[in-house]
Structure formats: structure tokens, C-alpha cells
Amino acid sequence: MILDAPVQPTPADQLPPGPSTSDPVNFDPMADAWTAAQAPFGNQMNALGLNTYQNALRAYLSALAAAASATDANSAAIAAASASASVKWVSGAVYGDGDVVWAPANHLPYRRIGAGSGAVDPSLDPTHWAIQVFSLGLGGQLLTASAALTATSPAAITVTPASAGYFLILPDATTCQKGIAMFAVYNAGDVDYGIRDNSGNKLGWVRARSTAMIGLSDNTTIAGMWGMSGIQKVGVTAILETAAISTASAAFLQRVQIDTNRTFFLFGSLYGVVFDSSTNSWGAPALIRSGAFTLRSAILSAANQLLVVSAVGGTLQAVTVSVTGVSLNVNSGSAATRSISSTVSDSVPLLAVGASFVLSYLYSQNAALTALTVSGTTPTIGTENLINSGAAGAAAKLFAAGNVVRALYYDGGPKFLTCVPYTVSGASFAIGTAATTTPNTSLANSFRAAVNGNGNIVASTVTNAGLILAIFKLSGATETCSSVLVASLTGNQSLASGDFLQVNSNKTAFIYALSGTSKVQIDLLTDTAGTASAGASLTYIATNTVNQDSVALLSSSSVACFAFSDSVAAYLLSIDCAGAAPVLVGSKGFRKSISLPASSDQYGNRSYTLLQAGGKAYSAAGPGTSSGDGVFSSAGVHAISAMAAAFSAGTYGAAANESWGLETLGPFGATIKRLEACA
């Protein structure tokens, strides 16, 4: 729309005086005159309004033209700066301070910083050359996969990732000018899109329908120091959607590493699938066995072969699964079966012991061991070996030491923990010499155990008297036990299940809640060549009754971090474990709306809801919970953007910053996702 010059407005004629009841004699003629003047007055006001609008529009268009002129002037200045670099840079030539050349590597102009010569292209020598154009806002690009940027890449980026796991690689920072905003990345897709620096470090993820602004604050290294807004430190980096497989009533996920790149997952009832991280690709899920499972476990039995053991009712089955690339072949024709006298109620994962594989399970309070062997693709299930008849509280926890399997279990008869060594030969066992803790009048069925850096088993269990911390040491085929009772309890006090953390090869820190009180108890167990010792317990008093959700987050040097909550708040404790007894060096309260990760499993393996990176711990609760995700460190706690995930089962990943989760979607299938955190 083009308008001519502004037009001077014409004022409307003044209306005659209006009629008034105070002058009844002249009311009629005044009313007639006032009414007759309304039509021309209205026309004049309409014309005045149109004139005012048109003049305002002219002013607006003039402002736009002025802005365009400013942009043109800026572009002209950039073009002039580029045009002024009329000399091609020559290696070894001497240039004066302020001389302008254009770089052969990228054809952009650079101005000399100080007189001198050199053999490095100006685009790669920011110490001696300053770029003469600024790329802020210049150009745009559309991406659907990973891409590597340079200092002159188009700055406005819209990405619609075809799948999870793609990354934008930032330029070599030494080739870039420092600036507040070099790139704007909008994720128009439905999955997270990652950002890496030029050294390969993961910097974070741009969530779906979000924008990240990226600037450079330091360019002295290739990686640089990038300032970013709009990115998250936890992202979903792999997704498998299985619309045809419903796992709502069978929430189960186990991960088995095949090799550096490939991972096998056992999930649901009962499928297997392979993920290749080098190609970010999944194979087709394969049905291994159907039924209502009470035991499911898989283990790598040979290169490109898995052994899968499962129990349905009273039937135990073992079958091998061959792997070719990401494809699976279930060798069902060579499957082995064996009957169990009753339904399995508890089990632990398969364990490789020498050339055999050992399984522990519980039925009718009987703790049993079975050894399996594999010849080619054919498995053999050995006979059942009862390690406790009628008084076991759970399946035995298993630990391997060469060709010896160490079975740790709770004996409900004399009420103590027992560790029995068995030498495994093929599918047979030879029992060694067992060791036990001191008998107690009561002992919790639940106990925790892990192998420390000395090769000894560290275990904890709760008694009516207090917490027992024990160390089991194996010599040949003989176990010995050294234990210590910490924090004697009085009255109706009892210890609720807690968590533990390996501080170093000699020390393990434990945290337990005192049920029905506002107290938590922290103990430090020291292993001195198999002899257990513990300093004085540390008791921390919260504001209200403590929940039974204490969790070990991380340890740095000799300081361990634990978190727990009461009915209204949550707490972060920093514990110095350098001495014989735990010492509180920091405590912070935070709002309960920030969720705590789950505690570690019975072997001390972290929960899949806990990710660790860069000295920080991340909780990943996801939607569908009453709390939001958070990041924890010795410096404090803060909330982060919640993950787009609501896992019903999961497993820790190959590294501390990785976890895998299973989303169950009722009759509409299931989804497997990988979560990653970065520093």
C-alpha cells in the first residue's frame, strides 16, 4: 500500500446550541436546528477520523522504512568491510597492524592484530587475526539429523529430529568470535536434540518445542566455553516404540551388554531386542517365551549369544538366543526345562561363575541354587541344590570369585546371615566352609550386600537390637565373618530399610531411618583385612517423622551425600568419611516437591531413577508422579525441567550418567527409552 504525503485535517463545524427545557419558548426551533446539524457533523467527523488513520498509517510505514534503511546500512557496512579485504592472505608474508586480508580457508575478511607474519590461515589464528564480519543472525538452516557447525554456519536453526540420539556439534571455538548469541536452535520435533562442543563433550539437550540460544564466552580452546539458555542437562537419547507389544501387566526390563556398541534388552512377557549405539538403530523385538513369569533373567553366554532363563509356574526353562547385528534368533529347538516343586517367589539375576552360570531362587521359603552350562546353542540345567530348607527369607545373593560362587542368605531358623562358598564344576557344586553372623532373636528378611574393593562382601541387616554390619572374607573355599553391632535400639524403635554407598575400597557408609521418629542414623564400616570396625553412629534429627526413602546420591573424595525426607520437607546431608566415624559437614533442607531418586538395589547398584554426571546427581521421576525432577550436589539442590517419561520399570546403564526405562501404555504397547545426563 503506497500513500502520498500527509494531508492536513479539516476540523468539523461546531454544532449549534442544543434545546433545553429551561427555555420552553425556543425549545422547538433549537431542537430542529440541532437535529438538522447532526448529519453533516457526522460526515465531517468520519472524514476527520479517516484522515487521522491515514496519517498514522503513513507514520507507521515511514518507521518501517527507517528500520529497513538501518538494516540496509548495517548490511552495507558489512559488505564494505568485506570489500575492503581486497588482498588474499599469503603464508609467510609480513603484515602491519590493522592490515585487512581475506582468508583462503573461508573467504572471509580478517584484520591483523599487531605486525608480523605467520603460516596459519587467519581463520585458524584468532591470536593474530580478528574476523571483520559478525555472523549473528545471518542465514538459516533446517536439520533432521546430526550436523557439525563452523564459525560461518547459518545461525537460525530449526531441527526436526527423525529419532532420538542426534546431536548438533558446535564449531571449533578458536575459529569463532566471542559473542552473546551465535546460534538459535529451535526443536520442532517430538524428541530431544543434543548439543556437543567441538571436543565431543555433551552440553545438554533441547527439548521438543523448545529453543536454545547459544553464545561463546571463551574461545581459547577448541571446546570453548559456551553460554546457553534453553537446554536441559538430562535428555532422552534413544527410543523404541513397540505398539504391538503390551507390557502393562509385566513391567520388567533387564539390560545385557553384548559388546562396545550393542545392548540386549529382556522385557515384558517375554521379549528380547537389540540396540546398536553406533548406528542409533534397533532390531525387531523377538518373542522368547510367553506366560505369567515369576523368574526372568538373561546373561551373555558367548560372543553374540545370550542365555535366557525363565520360570512359569513350576517349570524352569533355559534357552539360547543368537545375535546377528541387531537381529535375534531364539534357539527354541534346543531349549532345556526342569520342574520346580513350587512356584518361584523370589530370584536374583544369573551370574557367570567360571565357565558355568548360576541361578538362585526361592520357593516355599526354600533357597536353592542351580548351575547351568551351554554347549553350542544347547543349555543344560543342573540339579537343584537346596542351601536352606524352609527358613530362608529370600533368594541367596550371589557373588563370583573365580570358579567359586558365594551364596549369602538369611537363615530364619537361628536368625543369622550365612555365606556359603560353592566350587562350581560344570552343572555341579562342591560345598565349602560357611560363615555366619552372631545369632539374634529377630532378623529382617531384607538385607543388602556388595563386594568392596578388597574383594570382601560387605553386608548390612537389621535386628531387634540394632544394625549389624558384617564383612565376609573368602580364603580358598572357606568363608570367615567379622561383624559389628551399631546403634543399639531401645523401646519400640526399629530401623527401616535404607541405603549404602562404597566410599572407597575399605569404607562403606550406611544410612537408615529410625521408624516412627524424626531421626536417621548414619554408620561407617571400615574393612581392615577382613576385620569389621565402626565408629560412633551419627544421628540426624529432622523436623517431622522420617519417611523410609533415604537414598545415597554420590561420593566425592571422602565426602558422601545422602538425601531423605519427612512428611513436609526433604534433606541433603554431606558426610565426611575420612575418619573412623561419620562426621556431618553440611546439611540443607529443600522442598519436598523435588523428588528423591530411589535407593540402590540389594547389591548396591544405583536405581535407574538416579543419574550422575559432573559431580552432580539427577533424579528423573518424570510426569505422573507427585514430584518434579531435581539435581543434587554437595552445594545444594534445585529443581529441573521434568523428563517426558513415566517409567514403570528400568535398569541402570553402562555408565553412571545413563539409565534405561520402560514405559507401559496399557493395551497400546510399550516404549523403551535411554536417559542420559551430562556435566
Q: d(Cα 243, Cα 505) in Å, to the nearest integer?
A: 46
For the chain, what are the domain ranges?
A: 42-82, 85-133, 142-229
Predicted local confidence at residue 427, as pLDDT? 94
pLDDT tens, position by position, 454-482? 999 999 988 877 788 999 999 999 999 99
Q: Which three three-digit cell numbers place residue 294?
A: 515369576
Q: Which three three-digit cell numbers place residue 2?
A: 503506497
* Mean per-residue pLDDT of the chain: 87
Q: Which of 7-21, 277-291, 598-612 has the highest mean pLDDT?
A: 277-291
Q: Other CB atoms closer than 10 Å to residue 227's CB: what's the count?
A: 16
Total residue count of the chain as it appears in this document: 679
Predicted local confidence at residue 490, as pLDDT? 61
Whether residue 311 has pLDDT greater than 50: yes
Predicted local confidence at residue 336, as pLDDT? 97
Give the angle 652-563-487 at the CA atoms, nearest 5°: 110
Query: Which whole number is the average pLDDT over 192-198?
Result: 97
Q: Which of 38-47, 179-188, 346-355 has the highest mean pLDDT?
A: 346-355
Task: Give the dihedral sign, CA 91/96/101/106.
Answer: positive
Going by the DSSP 8-state scheme, the letter that residue 396 receives in this structure is P
Query: Which whole number is the average pLDDT over 77-81?
Result: 49
Q: Which of 75-84, 124-133, 395-404, 607-616 has the highest mean pLDDT?
A: 395-404
- In angstroms, how far is CA 294 from the centroid of its own chain? 29
Amino acid at 110: Y
The DSSP line for 476-505 is TTEEEEEEEEES---TT--EEEEEEEE-SS
Q: Which of 226-235, 296-305, 536-545, 584-593 has the highest mean pLDDT?
A: 296-305
Q: d(Cα 662, Cα 313) in Å, to the nearest integer?
A: 25
Q: Which fold has domain 85-133?
A: Seminal Fluid Protein  PDC-109 (Domain B) (2.10.10)
Predicted local confidence at residue 647, as pLDDT? 85
Of residues 351 and 487, the one with the higher pLDDT is 351
Q: d(Cα 594, Cα 68) in Å, to the nearest integer?
A: 49
Of residues 299 and 670, the one with the higher pLDDT is 299
Selected from 2.60.120, 3.90.1720, 2.40.30, 1.10.3470, the CATH number assigned to the domain covering 142-229 reads 2.60.120
Going by pLDDT thresholds of 50, 70 and 90, the confidence category of residue 540 is: very high
Query: Which whole number is the average pLDDT over 276-297?
Result: 94
Whether residue 89 has pLDDT greater than 70: yes
Under 8 Å CB-to-CB from 381, ≥6 apart: which residues? 316, 318, 336, 337, 338, 370, 372, 427
Q: d(Cα 517, Cα 413) in Å, to the nearest integer?
A: 30
Q: What is the dihedral of CA 285, 287, 292, 295, to 10 degrees?
A: -80
Predicted local confidence at residue 26, as pLDDT? 78
Predicted local confidence at residue 503, as pLDDT? 93
Task: Give the dihedral sign, CA 26/28/30/31.
Answer: positive
Predicted local confidence at residue 626, as pLDDT? 45
Query: Which whole number is the average pLDDT over 129-152?
Result: 81
